């Protein structure tokens, strides 16, 4: 640090970090698809394996020493991951991924809307005349569950549009969010544009009409310092596999008083206090949302991923990604026939950029880059409405992470510069 300025990771530091990632050291390819899934350091791989080797047992069930040890590891992981986003153990629910977490919320709201949960769940009940607000740039995981909730309850679905650059129209947001709005669901960072949403502005609009807020933090928690309570949102979701953790594990963060009032989505063993043949009583959150056998080894490994990130410092990770994002945007803006999607060079973004290459389909762009040893994502990135609003069907996306060097970005730019001439569409 120099004063309050956080120094980004140097390329030499990044190259040293890469030694912790077996796939990166064993593959000659440049990996620029971390927005889809991140690579895993040895510490995370070892944590999952070591749990099975030394502590494998069912949690919250057995009274024997091994079960107690497994349960302690499971709950300690909850404390670590919750603290990483500014929360407490009472506020973090384990899920399989962020998609399941959003579905958990929407189905809990559905159950409340049928009268489940009693008076305490009244805040979650929706019906005709109520409105759910999302945005035009959402990943399908933060759109389709809300469409389905609207269909089940009779509520109306509305959305905040994007402008010609793909940025949220905050002026329109003030018109869309109104007295009938009950829920506002939006992304912290767009997985297509890399733009960072003005969360406080949308939270203020939602709170002004008494609406709940749900934040898709999948592209922010891995890349930025995030304090969910400080952001003012009511619920948030994120996935382990995007933040150096294993697949099959995600999390729902929610304010404790809201989670306790919300009726469960999945029911069965481990989430109850008393069961008769006629009825059941449920444990407080977060346990009431964790029915059945849990993904304990993955939970433990995710906590190790968090420790790895904390060892580097999220401020430095964010500073590094800022540098990558600016280098990507500036380089792409100079390429003839390449349209940069999202914020212009110099504007705030994470280390991610998507482009449309004139005259060449995104899948063909990706194939040429793959042959050249550069792995990127192509397609609509589970954001068809955003692409449609921009007059596109698909884009090519490069997304870096803490193990991405500036040399990787420069190699991507150099290979992309030759794509149009390869297909003889330059000029």
pLDDT in tens, 163-173: 999 999 999 99
Pairing of strands 272-275, 280-282: antiparallel
CA 1 to chain centre: 28
Gyration radius from the chain CA atoms: 22
Residues 22 and 54 in one domain: no
Residue 427 has a pLDDT of: 63
Query: Has residue 270 got a pLDDT over 50?
Result: yes
**Angle subtended at Cα 56 by Cα 50 and Cα 62, rounded to the nearest 5 degrees:** 150
Q: Are 193 and 341 in contact (CB under 8 A)?
A: yes
- Tell me, yes or no, whether 261 and 409 share the same domain: no
Whether 146 contacts 106, CB under 8 Å: yes
Q: What is the mean pLDDT of residues 148-171?
A: 97
The per-residue pLDDT for 2 is 40
356 is a domain residue: yes
Is residue 2 domain-resident?
no
Q: Is 382 a catalytic residue?
A: yes
- CA–centroid distance for 133 within its chain: 19
Instruction: Catalytic residue, from 382, 389, 417, 426: name it.
Output: 382
Q: Which of 310, 328, 361 is the last residue of a domain?
A: 310
CA atoms in the 13 A half-sphere facing the CB of 306: 25
Q: Residue 313 has which token pair?
A: 């410092």
The reply to whether 138 and 166 lie within a common domain is yes
Q: Average pLDDT of 248-253?
A: 98
pLDDT for res 1: 40
Mean pLDDT on 304-321: 98
Phi-psi region of 295 (alpha: psi -120 to 50; beta: other; left: phi over 0): beta
Q: Is the same domain home to 350 and 272?
A: no
Q: Which domain holds residue 369?
A: 11-31+313-422
| pTM of the predicted structure, to 2 decimals | 0.96
Number of domains in the chain: 2
DSSP at 78: H
Query: Which strands make up the sheet holding 181-187, listed edge to edge?
Result: 92-95, 250-254, 235-239, 212-216, 181-187, 131-135, 156-160
What does the DSSP 8-state code read for residue 177? S
Query: What per-residue string of b and e applies to 348-369 under the rule 16 or more CB within 10 Å gives b?
Result: ebbbbbbbbbeebebebbbebb
């Amino acid at each position: 640090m120099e004063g309050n300025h956080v120094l980004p990771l140097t390329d030499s530091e990044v190259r040293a970090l890469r030694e912790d990632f077996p796939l990166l050291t064993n593959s000659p390819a440049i990996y620029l698809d971390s927005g889809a899934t991140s690579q895993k350091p040895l510490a995370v791989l070892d944590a999952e394996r070591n749990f099975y080797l030394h502590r494998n047992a069912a949690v919250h069930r057995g009274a024997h020493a091994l079960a107690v040890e497994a349960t302690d590891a499971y709950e300690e992981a909850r404390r670590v991951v919750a603290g990483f986003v500014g929360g407490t153990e009472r506020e973090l629910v384990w899920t399989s991924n962020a998609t399941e977490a959003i579905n958990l919320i929407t189905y809990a709201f559905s159950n409340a809307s049928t009268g489940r949960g009693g008076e305490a769940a009244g805040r979650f009940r929706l019906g005709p005349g109520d409105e759910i607000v999302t945005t035009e740039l959402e990943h399908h995981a933060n759109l389709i569950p809300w469409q389905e909730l609207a269909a089940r309850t009779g509520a109306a679905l509305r959305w905040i549009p994007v402008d010609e650059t793909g940025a949220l129209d905050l002026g329109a947001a003030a018109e869309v969010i109104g007295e009938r709005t009950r829920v506002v669901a939006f992304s912290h960072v767009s997985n297509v544009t890399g733009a960072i949403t003005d969360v406080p502005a949308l939270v203020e609009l939602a709170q002004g009409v008494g609406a709940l807020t749900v934040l898709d933090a999948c592209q922010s928690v891995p890349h930025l310092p995030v304090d969910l309570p400080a952001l003012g949102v009511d619920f948030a979701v994120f996935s382990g596999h995007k933040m150096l953790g294993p697949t099959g594990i995600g999390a729902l963060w929610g304010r404790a008083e809201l989670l306790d009032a919300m009726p469960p989505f999945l029911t069965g063993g481990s989430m109850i206090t008393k069961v008769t043949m006629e009825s059941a009583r449920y444990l407080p959150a977060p346990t009431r949302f964790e029915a059945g056998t849990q993904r304990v080894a993955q939970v433990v490994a995710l906590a190790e991923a968090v420790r790895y990130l904390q060892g580097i410092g999220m401020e430095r990770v964010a500073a590094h990604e800022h540098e990558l994002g600016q280098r990507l945007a500036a380089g792409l803006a100079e390429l003839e026939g390449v349209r940069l999607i999202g914020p212009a060079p110099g504007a705030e973004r994470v280390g991610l950029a998507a482009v449309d290459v004139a005259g060449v389909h995104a899948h063909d762009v990706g194939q040429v880059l793959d042959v050249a040893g550069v792995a990127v994502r192509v397609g609509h990135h589970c954001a068809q409405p955003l692409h449609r609003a921009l007059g596109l069907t698909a884009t090519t996306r490069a997304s870096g992470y803490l193990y991405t060097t500036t040399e990787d970005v420069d190699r991507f730019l150099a290979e992309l510069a030759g794509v149009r001439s390869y297909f003889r569409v330059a000029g």
